[in-house]
Amino acid sequence: MALVLMGLGPFRFSVPGLSHNQLSRRYNYRWVPQWRIGRRPAEQFLGPGEEEVRIHGIIYPWAYGGYDQLEGMRGYAEGGIPSGLASAGGVFFGLWCIRAITDEQEYFLPDGTPRRVEFDLDLVNYGA
């Protein structure tokens, strides 16, 4: 049985299978200039901005499957469906939107199946 590390809606990142090996988070904060006569602008804080997560991982479809799950995430993203993000430890991070999915395929079998697929999944917090 696969060890689930994280879940995004109905999709599971697990070992072996669709696994992530890197997760990065970015928090943005909104500052805007307030223009003043004869002086440099002063920055005004408007509050928190977008919270972003990038999940980087590798799939070995020929050995463990999992490429269909990546295609499923593309379908979910095209539907504009926010999904819950949770860790294996039970921490719920809220609702997230898939902003981009990038994959790089290499080492192909004779039928065109890649032996290795490296992917990035870019998420942005839904803000609910």
Tokens 């005004």 correspond to what residue? 44
CA-based nearest residue to 18, from 64, 76, 72: 64
Q: What is the length of the chain?
A: 128
Domains and CATH numbers, the chain: 3-125 (2.40.30.200)
Q: What is the pLDDT along the chain (128 residues), one digit of tens a residue?
A: 567 788 899 888 876 656 667 889 999 999 999 999 999 999 999 999 999 999 998 888 777 666 788 888 899 899 998 999 998 888 899 999 999 999 999 989 898 888 889 999 999 999 86
**Secondary structure of residue 89 in the 3-state scheme:** coil
pTM: 0.80
Tokens 């379908």 correspond to what residue? 75
Distances (CA, A) of 98 to 12, 15, 42, 74, 83: 15, 22, 35, 8, 8
